[in-house]
Amino acid sequence: MESKEINSVTPDFQKTVQELIDNLRVERFSDAEEYRLAHEYSALPMGVDMWSYVLLTANGEIIDQDYDGNFQHHRVDSQALIRVLVAGKRRYPQLAKFIPNRSDQSKTCPICEGSGIWEQSKDVATEKPGKCFICAGLGWVTEETYSEIQKNSK
């Protein structure tokens, strides 16, 4: 059977993300730099990770911009998009419908073994284990991501 990659970037996705971008207002931001980057890249601010601001374009591209403005990384990757959507659904509930259901081609996450929890990651407030950083707590990964993990673990 031929592998099919998960594709959340549909015309509806593009329209929804673009509408969210078009409706961004500076007064809703506590971080002026996040708003500036959203405007500069015409992208939806999704929050921050350990080292950078994370933004999402309407075409599904993820932009990571470090806090110092010295580095930016643009990527189009199904698993990264899924992670961004899972993390961003709290801020933008409209994005939840674009998180794909597990497909027949997906694989159980080899990092959390399908639990969705990564023991080494602790929630600062509760001290409980956090979501798996690879599968975003879903317990599964794309076939492409699974293959990469297997290749890199050898």
Task: Please provide the average confidence, as pLDDT, over all residues in the chain.
Answer: 88
Low-confidence ranges of the chain (pLDDT < 70): 1-6, 119-127
Report the 10 Å Cβ neighbour count for 27: 5
Residue 70's Cα: distance from chain center in Å? 22
Amino acid at 127: E
Q: What is the pLDDT of residue 133?
A: 86
CA angle 48/97/25 to nearest 5° reads: 50
DSSP E strands in the chain: the ranges are 44-48, 52-56, 62-66, 72-75, 107-108, 117-122, 129-131, 140-141
Q: b/e per residue, 14-24, with b = 16+ CB within 10 A?
A: eebbeebbeeb
Ramachandran quadrant class, 71 (left: phi over 0; alpha: psi -120 to 50; beta: rest)? beta
pLDDT at 83: 92
pLDDT reported for residue 130: 79
Residue 64's nearest CA partner among 54, 75, 56, 77 is 54
Beta-bridge partners for 53: 48, 65
The residue assigned the tokens 């099919």 is 4
Given this model, what pLDDT does residue 124 score?
60
Alpha helices in 23-100 (DSSP H): 32-41, 78-88
pLDDT of residue 2: 33
Query: Which position has the token pair 């990571």?
Result: 64
Instruction: Report DSSP state, residue 60.
Output: S
